[in-house]
């Protein structure tokens, strides 16, 4: 799952892979950098941004890949990417918890998986029992608390991934998104 980027003619790295959790914010960030830098006005730059939302085998040409990669590296070096990461992370930290999908918010997982491994009758250790106010019943999705981080918080704004992508793009002579 995720995207595989295959370079047309690389001298260093021919292939990189990103999970959707990592790629989606990365590509959205790249689009914002391109917008901020008015890359659409730069001769030879031509990226239809929606192609990054699927792994359909679309091709990003070499000139566009080089321009985008260079700008992303500059934004990293200037600290803009770190700023964007902080905004992203702070926005995620303010999201409310959601009822755990494995136990419907009860804290006790009693679906087929939960029953098979005995989570629904599992004795709790003393500390957990005091915390949760019961002696038995666990859920591995929420540590028995019934609440879990919002699913959207799985999207990661990863500075290392941005650098990996940017360096790949600069050297790729164009790449396919698969």
**Sites for Zn ion among residues 91-110 (CB under 5 A):** 100, 102-103
Angstrom distances, CA of residue 9 to CA of 57, 69, 92, 161, 169: 16, 15, 38, 21, 11
Tokens 């702070």 sit at which residue?
Answer: 90
- Looking at the Cβ atoms of 47 and 100, the one nearer to Zn ion is 100
- Looking at the Cβ atoms of 30 and 103, the one nearer to Zn ion is 103
- Looking at the Cβ atoms of 35 and 113, the one nearer to Zn ion is 113
| Tokens standing for residue 80 | 């803009």
Instruction: Report if residue 166 touches Zn ion, rule: CB under 5 A.
Output: no
In the β-sheet with 174-177, what is the strand arrangement from edge to edge?
15-18, 3-7, 174-177, 58-61
Which x/- pattern over 125-144 shows residues binding Zn ion (rule: CB under 5 A)? --------------x-xx--
Binding positions for Zn ion, rule: CB under 5 A: 100, 102-103, 139, 141-142
């Amino acid at each position: 799952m995720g995207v595989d980027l295959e370079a047309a003619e690389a001298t260093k790295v021919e292939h990189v892979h990103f999970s959707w959790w990592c790629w989606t914010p990365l590509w959205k960030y790249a689009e914002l950098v391109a917008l901020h830098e008015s890359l659409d006005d730069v001769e030879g730059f031509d990226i239809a941004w929606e192609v990054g939302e699927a792994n359909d085998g679309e091709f990003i040409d070499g000139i566009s890949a080089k321009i985008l990669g260079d700008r992303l590296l500059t934004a990293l070096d200037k600290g803009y990417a770190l700023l964007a990461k902080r905004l992203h992370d702070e926005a995620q930290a303010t999201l409310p918890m959601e009822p755990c999908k494995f136990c419907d918010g009860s804290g006790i997982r009693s679906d087929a998986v939960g029953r098979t491994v005995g989570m629904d009758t599992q004795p709790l250790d003393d500390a957990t029992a005091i915390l949760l106010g019961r002696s038995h019943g666990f859920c591995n999705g929420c540590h028995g608390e019934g609440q879990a981080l919002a699913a959207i918080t799985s999207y990661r704004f990863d500075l290392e991934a941005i650098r990996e992508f940017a360096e790949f793009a600069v050297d790729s002579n164009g790449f396919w998104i698969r």
